[in-house]
Structure 1
C-alpha cells in the first residue's frame, strides 16, 4: 500500500536527482515528498545510498510504532537517530570549538 515518503538529500549527483523526481515532488532543492509503495521506496533508498559520495540523506516514512514513522540516514550527519526503548531520539554531535581545533605549540 502506498504511503507518504519524505527524502532529504544534499550533494547528490544530477542523475540521482532525476531518478528521485520521477517518483517524488522536489518541493525545495533538497526535499522530496510523495506517496509511493514500499518497494519503490526501498529501491530509491538503495540507489541513493549507493551513489551518495559526499552528501547526506534522510528518509522518513510511516510505520506502525509509537511515533508513527521510521527514520533512516546515510552519509555524514550532525544529527544521529538513536533507538531508546523503541522511540527514535536525535543525538547532536558537538561541533569542535576553535580551542579544540587549534594545535598545541
Structure 2
C-alpha cells in the first residue's frame, strides 16, 4: 500500500496521481503500485510539486513495515537504531513568540490574556 499526501501542489500533479492512485480526500492518494511505478511517481511528484509539499508512506520489509519520503516538509524522517521516527520542528522554531513546549491554551491559563503571570 502506498499513500501520498500533497499540500499546496498544482492541479496538474493531482490529476497525474489520479491515473495511478485513488484520491480518498483532498490531497490524499492511496493504492497498491509496484516499486518501479512508485519510484517513478515520486520522481514526478518532486519535479511537479513546485512550492508545495509532499509526503509518501509505503510498505517495505522490516521491523516497522513502512517507510517515509518527504519533499519540502518541515517534519523529517530520522532513522534511530533501525526505527524510522518523524522529527517535528521545535516549538520555538515554528513560532518564536511562544515558549518551547507550551501550547497556546496552557500559556493563556498560566499568563492570562495579557501575557502576565496571574
2:81 matched residue in structure 1 = 85
Q: Which has the larger radius of gyration?
A: 2
Aligned residues: 96
Specify which of 43, 46, 49 is matched with residue 40 of structure 2.
43
RMSD: 1.5
2:95 matched residue in structure 1 = 96
Normalising by structure 1, we get a TM-score of 0.84
Question: What pairs up with 1:25-64 in 2 under 5 angstroms?
Answer: 25-64=22-61
- How much has 1:99 moved relative to structure 2? 6.9
**In proportion to residue count, which structure has more strand?**
1
Normalising by structure 2, we get a TM-score of 0.76
- How much has 1:86 moved relative to structure 2? 1.0
Structure 1 residues without counterparts, runs of 5 or longer: 101-105
- How much has 1:98 moved relative to structure 2? 2.1
What is the CA–CA distance in structure 2 between the aligned matches of 1:37 and 1:96, rounded to whole Å? 40
Local SS of the residue matching 1:43: helix
- How much has 1:65 moved relative to structure 2? 1.2
Local SS of the residue matching 2:6: strand
